[in-house]
Amino acid sequence: MKIYMVFNALLLTLSACSQNDQWYSVEDFSKVMKIDAHVHIDSDRSTFVEKAIADNFRLINVTLEVDDGWNDVYRKYGDGLHQHQSFPKSVDMITSFAVSDWDEENWEGKVISWMDSCFKQGALGVKVWKNIGMVSRDTAGNLISIDDDRFDPIFRFIQERGKTLMGHLGEPKNCWLPLDSMTTENDRRYFENNPQYHMYLQPEMPSHEDLMDARDSMLAKHPELRFVGAHLGSLEYSVDVLAERLDRFPNMSVDLAARMGQLFYQTANDREKVRDFFIQYQDRILYGTDLGDNGERSQENMYRSMDENWRRDWEFFVTDNIMSSSLVHDPFLGLKLPKQVVDKIYYHNAVRWLGMEE
């Protein structure tokens, strides 16, 4: 009888160990090495990075051109370079370039020279933003499109240097809907506060399909270019549609930055479909948040936001808890992905797709 009881106890212990080997828990959050592959630290203070280090995160700081041309690029890249030099093992950089001087004869040479200087300082890649296709125009008044031939030598240079192109091209499909028809609260809040980007109010502008077609045309021209589609590649509304693009473009991956609401929305409707997507495309998804520090928020508020986002997302991926979020109306279950999948999404995929050192 004693032997039987000892044997059963051993089986239970082995079973528990096997379970622990397969799954993470909420309590593992700070123990596991992670990468947030999409942040914006537009400040020289170190508080954001210090919090990330305490939570076992490495960071990819992303530069972009917003509305001040090269001044945006130089300033934002300078902040990222400062953070990288201050915390070389914890912060890496993605640079950008401006199209504000698009029609100038030496534009291509200027961009390539700038990228080369950034790569020599350690930049992992280059970001292009939604101003291309939605805002920036040439001197004739035409919108600049991402598949324009003038970009070809720039994208070839990125590829030849073994770097990565990150693209926030287009917007969530909700952008083309009225506010009260949008599927997530994060989109509703953003476009209510940024009507200049709300395409429903500007029917003369390109459609969502037009912008995705231009992006796809660019990728088709550069099949060997390593590409990270920021914000779920602006195909956040459907894992089925996103899967089709990933199948079509083998050198395309996506990050999750600022699109968890759309994932929660789809999960509330069909959890198994979303879970199957993450398992099938586990090598093509990078964890990212779009969090950042512009130097204006209090440390307390910033840390609260970081905790809310990072810990909520960890719970979503590693447990099957019933969850709720201010981003969506309906409750949803966590995906409870296997450890090996979580490790790829949170770490190994960023290393691979961004050419990082382990």
Question: Has residue 102 been placed in a domain?
Answer: yes
130 within a domain of the structure (yes/no) = yes
- Residue 11, pLDDT score: 44
Strands 57-62 and 34-41: parallel
Tokens of 72: 């945006």
Asked if 285 contacts 38 with a C-beta cutoff of 8 angstroms, the reply is no
pLDDT at position 15, please? 46
Q: Does residue 258 contact residue 186 with C-beta atoms inside 8 Å?
A: yes
- Beta-ladder partners of 181: none
Residue 5 has pLDDT above 60, yes or no: no
Vertex 127 angle, CA 36 and 142, to 5°: 145
Q: Does the structure show a pLDDT above 90 at 67? A: no
pLDDT band of residue 80 (cuts 50, 70, 90) is: very high
- Work out the percent of the chain whose per-residue pLDDT is above 90: 93
pLDDT for the residue 229:
98
Across the chain, what does the average pLDDT equal? 95
Q: How far is CA 343 from CA 22, 149, 312, in A?
A: 11, 38, 17
Q: Is the pLDDT of residue 10 over 50?
A: no
For residue 4, being part of any structural domain is answered with no
Strand ranges, E, within the chain: 34-41, 57-62, 91-96, 125-128, 164-167, 226-229, 252-255, 285-286, 292-293, 322-323, 332-333
**Alpha-carbon distance 263 to 221, whole Å?**
30
| Tokens standing for residue 49 | 């990075």
Q: What is the pLDDT of residue 12?
A: 46
Task: Give the residue with greater pLDDT, 83 vs 10.
Answer: 83
In a domain, 60, yes or no: yes
Which range has the worst mean pLDDT, 1-15, 30-44, 197-211, 238-252? 1-15
**In contact, 288 and 232? CB cutoff 8 Å:** no
Q: What pLDDT shows up at residue 237?
A: 98
The answer to whether position 258 is within a domain reads yes
Angle at 351 between CA 346 and CA 355, to 5 degrees: 155
Residues 6+ apart with CB under 8 A from 70: 98, 100, 101
Distance CA 256, CA 267 (A): 14
Task: Say if residue 196's pLDDT is above 90.
Answer: yes
Range 277-298 average pLDDT: 98
Report yes or no on 320 lying in a domain: no
CATH number for the domain that contains residue 275: 3.20.20.140
Residue 234 lies in a domain: yes
CB atoms under 10 Å from CB of 61, counted, come to 28
Summarised one tens digit per residue, pLDDT across range 92-148 is: 999 999 999 999 999 999 999 999 999 999 999 999 999 999 999 999 999 999 999
For residue 21, what pLDDT band results from cuts at 50, 70 and 90?
Answer: confident
Q: What's the confidence (pLDDT) of residue 100?
A: 96
Quick one: pLDDT at residue 357? 81
Is residue 160 pLDDT above 50, yes or no? yes
Backbone dihedral angles phi then psi of residue 57, each to the nearest 5 degrees: -110, 140
pLDDT at residue number 59:
98
6 pLDDT higher than 80: no
Which residues share a beta bridge with 285? 254
- Number of structural domains, the chain? 1
User: Is residue 223's pLDDT more than 70?
Assistant: yes
Does the predicted model carry a pTM greater than 0.85? Answer: yes
Residue 17 binned pLDDT confidence (cut-offs 50, 70, 90): very low
The Cβ of residue 29 has, within 10 Å, a number of other Cβ atoms equal to: 18
Burial of 231 (0-12, 13-18, 19+ CB in 10 A): buried
Q: How confident is the model over 244-286, as pLDDT tens digits?
A: 999 999 999 999 999 999 999 999 999 999 999 999 999 999 9
Least confident of 15-29, 129-143, 329-343: 15-29
For residue 66, give both structure tokens.
């917003």
- Report the share of the chain in percent with pLDDT over 70: 94
- Judged by DSSP in three states, 216 sits in helix
Q: Which domain holds residue 55?
A: 28-304+339-353
Asked if residue 10 is part of any domain, the answer here is no
